[in-house]
Structure 1
Amino acid sequence: MKVLLIKTSSLGDVFHTLPAVEDAWRAVPDLEIDWVVEEAFAAIPQWHPAVKKVIPVAWRRWRKSLFSKGTMAEMKAFRQQLKATDYDVVLDAQGLIKSGIITRMARGPRFGLDKNSCRESLAAKAYQHPQAVAKGQHAIPRVRQLFSQVLNYQIPEGLSYGVDRSRWQRPQVDGDFWIFLHGTTWITKLWPEAYWRDLAMLTSQSGRKVLLPWGNDEELERAQRIAAGLEGVEVLPKMGLNDLNAYLAHAQAVAGVDTGLSHVVAALEVPSVAIYGATDSTLTGVLGPQVEVMRSEYSDCAPCLSKTCLKNEPGAIQPPCYREISPQRVFESLLKRI
């Protein structure tokens, strides 16, 4: 069976689709999936053996110069690529108007979420076979349910992303190492720096190395402060996602915050803890068989979903919603998972 899957973005959404792909690959004989995905995430679908071809789309780049000659030529080539194959199933797992437009371009019976199930109800007009999938669930079980209804199989027990970590060669690091994903986009999603340093000390004292990746100057400076004077705590050189994946895939454990890289770790099924304070993990948070999500139980406001802290409280640990998620608690959780 040849399936065209439309799931273009974001990074977390792409990872949330992999368990459904794994289910389908196990249940449907001779399944082959072509996956339409934003060009920035084109490497990720290739991690799964069911995906035979990745078709990059560049909506984010195209919309900046929609009517330029170069953009028009790229859009024409993209449409021709979609129409070059007759598919048994064209499945839009995104549920947006833009993904519905892509679905209409392809050749084959069109499936997607019905108007009451998708994020943008107009998208449902693109599908010949709309599917009802209840809202209020985490994204992963929703996509798994959609796939099972369209491809007619029972959802298996358990959860697997189907990613083989051996595709990445182990970096040249002696002994066991843990990775701390300390960087993220909002200041309210940052676990307190003093906690990271305490966790680094606990890990180092246990005989394990700590590796600190970074993606910008602010994260580099934070990593340097966390590592300062601590034996076995190392700031990694700047690297791309594929190189960093090699470290993540072979880490003994990973601690992280609400960031895209925590979704990568969940997909790699590495023992990990994902720390949530200001944000809500219920619908789109990190989820996996080897990850523990630590949610703040700070009853005053968490999760506030605010990019700036709304509390004006004294204390060294800020934001206050992270105070109860102590370094000792994270350390002990990781020890239990390895």
Structure 2
Amino acid sequence: MKLLLVKLSSLGDVVHSFPALTDAKTMFPDLVVDWAVEEAFAPIAALHPAVRHTISVPMRRLRKTPLRAWRSGEAGAVRRALAREHYDIVIDAQGLVKSALVAALAHGPRHGFDRTSAREGLASHFYRARHHVPEVEHMATRIRKLFALALGYSLEGLPEDCGLRPLPPEEGAAPYLVYLHGTTWPTKTWSLEGWQSLARLAEAAGWQVKMFAHGAVEEARARKVAESCAAVQLLPPQSLDRLAPVLGAAAGVVSVDTGLGHLAAAYGVPTLGLYGPTDPQLTGMFGPRVRELAATGRECAPCQKSACRIAPHMKEGPPCMADHDARGVWAALQALGAQKG
């Protein structure tokens, strides 16, 4: 059986599709999966063992400069790649008009969420089969149910399995933690003081801490954390395919609500998520060794907003996130089982 999965973005959404692929491969051992995905996330989609090929879709360029993309041949290349195979089934697990249009370029019966379940109801008009999976559960669970309905099997008895496993550390390398501080929304950031205190707690316990940074704002924050604690190692900007094994071999990860945190959780690494404006019940980290600390005692959280109405002047670390205490975060990470070997 040949299946085309359409799930273009974002990084967290891509990772949330992994458990459904594990289910499908378990039920159909001969299953062959191709995945149409935004080019930036193709290295992550390719991590799942069920995936044969990824079809990179330069969606941002196709939308921003369609004429240039057409003249350069990119649009035609994507169309030919999608039409190259005849699939037994095409599943759009995103439910957006753009993903439905990508799915429509492929050969095979198209399945997706129905009008009341899709993120954009109009997308459902492009599917042959529409499945009702209400947006009341975690996204990974909803995609699992979508696959089960489309392929005709029951989820009963199937474990929640992302299909990835922790990676062995490099020979002779000291065990380390990863702190993921960067995120797209200012409201999802933790305070600088929180990260600095957490780094010092790791140092006192004999840990090395690795941090990434993308862009000037993140680089400035990471540098200040490193300057406050000798245990922090700043890694240079790297591609996702090079960052993934760093996460997979970590002894533990502390993360704000960001895509790399979802990937760490999928690897089965002890992963602690810090939440404030977003709701981990619907889009939280999904994995066997995950704990999420949500904002407590604030009626405004989760607000699902990228700007804080309580403290609009704050550029990072809004009140709901600043409430997370470094000692409490450290204790929660230790309880997850982050150990030195």
When normalised by structure 1's length, the TM-score is 0.91
Letter matched to residue 175 of structure 1: A
Q: Which residue of 2 aligns with 1:328?
A: 327
Asked if structure 1 preserves the Cα contact closer than 8 Å seen for 2:277 and 2:302, the reply is yes
Q: Does 1:221 align with 2:220?
A: yes
Letter matched to residue 268 of structure 2: E
Asked if structure 1 preserves the Cα contact closer than 8 Å seen for 2:169 and 2:250, the reply is no
RMSD: 2.3
Select between 111-120 and 226-235 the one with higher mean Cα deviation.
226-235
Q: Which residue of 2 aligns with 1:236?
A: 235
Asked if structure 2 preserves the Cα contact closer than 8 Å seen for 1:62 and 1:71, the reply is no
Query: What is the CA distance between 1:232 and its match in structure 2?
Result: 2.2
When normalised by structure 2's length, the TM-score is 0.91
Query: What is the CA distance between 1:119 and its match in structure 2?
Result: 1.6
Q: Does 1:27 align with 2:27?
A: yes
Please list, as runs of the form range in 1=range in 2, the aligned pairs for 1:152-231 lying within 5 A after superposition.
152-155=152-155, 156-166=157-167, 170-171=169-170, 174-231=173-230
- DSSP-derived class of the 1:334 partner: helix
Asked if structure 1 preserves the Cα contact closer than 8 Å seen for 2:210 and 2:235, the reply is yes
Query: What is the CA distance between 1:253 and its match in structure 2?
Result: 0.4
Query: What is the CA distance between 1:116 and its match in structure 2?
Result: 1.8
Q: Which residue of 2 aligns with 1:96?
A: 96
Query: What is the CA distance between 1:17 and its match in structure 2?
Result: 0.5
Query: What is the CA distance between 1:312 and its match in structure 2?
Result: 4.8
The sequence identity of aligned pairs, in percent, is 39
Asked if structure 2 preserves the Cα contact closer than 8 Å seen for 1:179 and 1:251, the reply is yes
Separation in 2, partners of 1:142, 1:83: 27
- DSSP-derived class of the 2:43 partner: coil
Separation in 1, partners of 2:312, 2:119: 37
- DSSP-derived class of the 2:46 partner: helix
Cα separation, partners in 2 of 1:313 and 1:263, compared to 1, 3 Å? closer
Select between 170-179 and 75-84 the one with higher mean Cα deviation.
170-179
Please list, as runs of the form range in 1=range in 2, the aligned pairs for 1:270-285 lying within 5 A after superposition.
270-285=269-284
Select between 156-165 and 46-55 the one with higher mean Cα deviation.
156-165
Please list, as runs of the form range in 1=range in 2, the aligned pairs for 1:272-311 lying within 5 A after superposition.
272-311=271-310
Separation in 2, partners of 1:32, 1:69: 30
Separation in 2, partners of 1:271, 1:323: 22
Separation in 2, partners of 1:71, 1:172: 49
Letter matched to residue 91 of structure 1: I
Q: Deviations over 1:233-286 (max 9, x none)?
A: 222233222222222111110101011211121122210111011222232232
Please list, as runs of the form range in 1=range in 2, the aligned pairs for 1:244-255 lying within 5 A after superposition.
244-255=243-254
Q: Which residue of 2 aligns with 1:143?
A: 143
Separation in 2, partners of 1:308, 1:113: 30
Cα separation, partners in 2 of 1:323 and 1:106, compared to 1, 3 Å? closer
Separation in 2, partners of 1:258, 1:69: 33
Query: What is the CA distance between 1:229 and its match in structure 2?
Result: 4.7
Asked if structure 2 preserves the Cα contact closer than 8 Å seen for 1:313 and 1:320, the reply is no
Separation in 1, partners of 2:233, 2:74: 43
- DSSP-derived class of the 1:47 partner: coil
Separation in 2, partners of 1:121, 1:32: 29
Q: Which sections of structure 1, spanning at least 5 residues, go unmatched?
A: none
Separation in 1, partners of 2:18, 2:273: 19
Please list, as runs of the form range in 1=range in 2, the aligned pairs for 1:71-110 lying within 5 A after superposition.
71=71, 73-110=73-110
